[in-house]
Structure 1
């Protein structure tokens, strides 16, 4: 743990958020990324697509048996229970800070929701060789950043199962997954995510 109390996770590590914050009634899951900058100049640099990377953050709600309950993504920005809210799609990835934010009201989540899986994927089919500085972070309702997970893997895949937030007897645990998946929508990614959570 850093002097500020914030935890930086590596792949497969997990941490109890309940033990870190007394303001855990609501959390923001911030996801960010930058486009890889092409070294080519002028016209050819523009052809290389050095200006933007359109990734879509999503949240998958699952029960204790890793069975799908519903998805929150750019086509459905709120869960039916209104406890998970996606704040909108970023089409470029440019700029500092979070590119997309998903707010989870932990106190209002239905009792059958056991795990929230957070993903990013490219609907346009752009792969992660074109993505730099990708991260996921958890911020509590007081504005304090609790956890950050920086993704380091690049590759030909079009999606990543970034992290999960699971509850067990009132304790909320955040786990960094960083699992590469090929899928242009969150629905394409669900089978592999369910398989990993069941292990």
Structure 2
């Protein structure tokens, strides 16, 4: 699948990217965007609403088997190494301090890398539009990754994603001997929800990564 990547291709160790801290923030900010239903759906008030974007971090072992997922349905992994700070349903429901261009992120997942269990080799960072509205329909918005010192590794402009993109494999963290290696993926997925996206990423990882010795 092709994508018009909003950021330059990025793949390096966290240390090489200037992220020295051991805590990362996978975060989302976007301007409240109301979606008006069209045609027959105008009759049903329940179909009216706003764009709702969700984030997830998915954990895989060395065989690319999913072992855990942190998202709005499960706010932390078993080891409490990854913690979701709470779901935003429309980009403005968490108050003025957590709106677009405000001091706080509307939705944020914190990754405490030193706590990630040793059997976890890969972490996928994924975004999904809950009601299947394309990301590009937001008025303004971005997904970014930073450390706890404020250093930003990348920003993904939602307006620059493909017009039909509703689920995005944003980035991939791969464990190395003494660090984590980050690759910015920006890969649209056909999945309609985060659980399906997690499985699609597992298949993609298994396809492109070498099989561990002894397996």
Helix, strand or coil: the match of 2:196?
helix
Q: Which residue of 2 is the match for residue 14 of structure 1? A: 11
Equivalent runs, 1:21-100 vs 2, <5 Å: 21-22=19-20, 24-34=21-31, 52-94=50-92, 95-97=99-101, 98-100=105-107
Q: Which residue of 2 is the match for residue 110 of structure 1? A: 117
Structure 1 residue 34 displacement after superposition: 3.4
In structure 2, distance between residues paired with 1:179 and 1:21: 23
Consecutive unaligned residues of structure 1, counting only runs of 5 or more, are 1-8, 39-43
Pair 1:131 & 2:135 matched: no
| 1:7-30 Cα distance to aligned partner (Å, 9 max, x none) | xx83542132123243x2222111
List, as ranges, runs of 4+ consecutive aligned residues in structure 1 with deviation greater than 6 Å.
none
Change (3 A) 1:129 1:146: closer
Structure 1 residue 96 displacement after superposition: 1.9
| 1:81-123 Cα distance to aligned partner (Å, 9 max, x none) | 1110000111112522432110011111100111111111122
TM-score by length of 2: 0.73
Helix, strand or coil: the match of 1:156?
coil
Q: Which residue of 2 is the match for residue 146 of structure 1? A: 152
Pair 1:191 & 2:199 matched: yes
Aligned CA-pair RMSD: 2.7
Consecutive unaligned residues of structure 2, counting only runs of 5 or more, are 1-5, 36-41, 93-98, 209-215
**Per residue, is there more strand in 1 or in 2?**
1
Q: Is the 8 A contact 1:114 1:166 kept in 2?
A: yes
